[in-house]
Amino acid sequence: MKLIDGGVCAAQGFTASGVHCGIRKSRTKNDLSLIFSAVPAVAAAVYTTNLVKGAPLTVTKRHLAAAGGRARAVLCNSGNANTCNANGLEIAEQMCALAGRALDIPAEQVIVASTGVIGQMLDIAPIAAGIPALAAALSAEGSAAAAEGIMTTDTVRKEVAVEFTLAGKTCRLGGIAKGSGMIHPNMATMLVFLTTDAAISPEMLQKALSGDVKHSFNMVSVDGDTSTNDMVAVLANGLAGNPEIRGEGEDFSAFMTALNTVTIALCRALAGDGEGATKLLECRVTGAAEEQTAKTVAKSVICSSLLKAAMFGADANWGRVLCAIGYSGAAVDVGRIDVAFRSPAGEVAVCQNGAGVDFSEERAKEILLEKEIEILVCLNSGAASAAAWGCDLSYDYVKINGDYRT
């Protein structure tokens, strides 16, 4: 397996595009994106567990059910979440109908998504005006334009792809993502669109995606807020020519490895680009009695506002790590816990057996001034492990969200 260029267009048969249609006031940013498969594709998706859900999620669920877990296109706008609107479902359906006509496919084969401000009416007029140009711009080099079109407060595009082998056939899997704030998923996260030319059944694709998010997107947190519009969708068009994956085995394991490679890369990109963030944080928990304990501890540490603030200040305040473990709800023996901080500048142990140890504050600060920080927690109670990703908490987070609508 190797990393390659191309994002959502790396796999055979996929094209993408992005244009500015007028939802955003700034004409310098794309606000409408399209991904298209040359042939019908197997599709799977996971959605936010927030009881308040964007209308596009409801429409996408309907379409995948009506089309038997298959789709040809993904249409997404930024600048408006189309959530908590009286006519939201109607607008989302209209978006699919417009895309269907432009692509000459049934509207039910369109996955639709929106991101942006909640509770503001979404005008269909700019979308209707922009879709012909969006469809005409579809290109095998269009991943970057599509990745830009789904950005909100993101500061960088997020796209990745890998190449791997199934039964002697070269396959590719790639994706784009958006997400910078309101990130604390409990199923998937933000908006993520994945494409692959591997052949896999609808049941196994859904199993792969649902299983993967437990170890990837569910382990990311920027600010503790679970979005109303979170969705991860994947299309698999089978053009690589491998025997269709219909059950578990060597090929399914290889597919899962490729999927997880892409999703973890996107997780790190999302966490590192958190609103106002200056550092990517990764909490690695080892020595847990069971995996769920490790996951609970890792997520609790990465979600701690006090720890996030300490990391912003390069302060090795390890007591905040133990505090977060203590209220996580995980059954741990506090007297066995070891904690260390690691970065490209080195590693420093700060706690052993639940108690502080002598360390150089100056050396610790050097380590914590780096852009990527690992928080290493060993529970010394078993062989299970887990990782979670987040970012530091800076002054700019409040600035960004203090005037997000205006």
- Residue 175: pLDDT band by 50, 70, 90 thresholds? very high
pLDDT of 56-94, one tens digit each?
999 999 999 999 999 999 999 999 999 999 999 999 999
pLDDT of 235 strictly over 80: yes
**Radius of gyration (C-alpha) of the chain in whole angstroms:** 22
Rounded-to-integer distance, Cα 357 and Cα 365, Å: 16
Q: What is the dihedral of CA 204, 206, 207, 209, to 10 degrees?
A: 120
DSSP characters over 244-265: PB-SSSHHHHHHHHHHHHHHHH
Bigger pLDDT: 117 vs 184 = 117
Domains of the chain: 2-272 (3.60.70.12), 280-402 (3.10.20.340)
pLDDT of 404 strictly over 70: no
pLDDT of the residue at 212:
95
Instruction: Report the relative pairing of strands 372-378 and 231-236 from DSSP bridges.
Output: unpaired
pLDDT of the residue at 271:
83
Contact at 8 Å (CB) between 158 and 177?
A: yes
pLDDT of the residue at 24:
85
pLDDT of the residue at 320:
96
Instruction: Report the relative pairing of strands 338-343 and 32-47 from DSSP bridges.
Output: unpaired
Element (H, E) at 80: strand 70-80
Contact at 8 Å (CB) between 390 and 218?
A: no
pLDDT of 194-205, one tens digit each?
999 999 999 999
pTM listed for this prediction: 0.87
Contact at 8 Å (CB) between 264 and 258?
A: no
pLDDT of the residue at 45:
95
Task: Please calculate the CA angle 177-183-186 and round it to the nearest 5 degrees.
Answer: 100
Tell me the mean pLDDT in the region 342-352.
Answer: 98
Element (H, E) at 347: strand 346-352
- Residue 344: pLDDT band by 50, 70, 90 thresholds? very high
Active site includes 196? no
Contact at 8 Å (CB) between 289 and 379?
A: yes
Rounded-to-integer distance, Cα 406 and Cα 404, Å: 6
Q: What angle do helix axes 319-326 and 291-303 make, rounded to 10 degrees?
A: 130
Rounded-to-integer distance, Cα 115 and Cα 78, Å: 5
Phi-psi category of residue 93: left, alpha or beta, with phi > 0 → left and psi -120 to 50 → alpha: alpha
Contact at 8 Å (CB) between 154 and 191?
A: no
Rounded-to-integer distance, Cα 217 and Cα 262, Å: 11
pLDDT of 229 strictly over 50: yes
Tell me the mean pLDDT in the region 267-292.
Answer: 90
Quickly list H helices, 87-201: 88-103, 124-136, 143-149
Share of the chain above pLDDT 90, in %: 80
Question: Considering 152, 189, 293, 296, which one is annotated as catalytic?
Answer: 189
- Residue 49: pLDDT band by 50, 70, 90 thresholds? confident
pLDDT of the residue at 188:
44
Q: Tell me the pLDDT of the chain averaged across its residues.
A: 92
pLDDT of 40 strictly over 90: yes
pLDDT of the residue at 189:
47
What are the phi and psi torsion angles at 350 (to 5°)? Answer: -120, -15
Share of the chain above pLDDT 70, in %: 95
pLDDT of 180 strictly over 90: no
Closest by Cα among 179, 182, 140 to 161: 140
Tell me the mean pLDDT in the region 241-261.
Answer: 98
pLDDT of the residue at 314:
97
pLDDT of the residue at 224:
60
Choose the weakest-confidence range: 15-19, 221-225, 295-299, 381-385: 221-225
Look up residue 350 and give its two tokens.
């700060």
pLDDT of 337 strictly over 80: yes
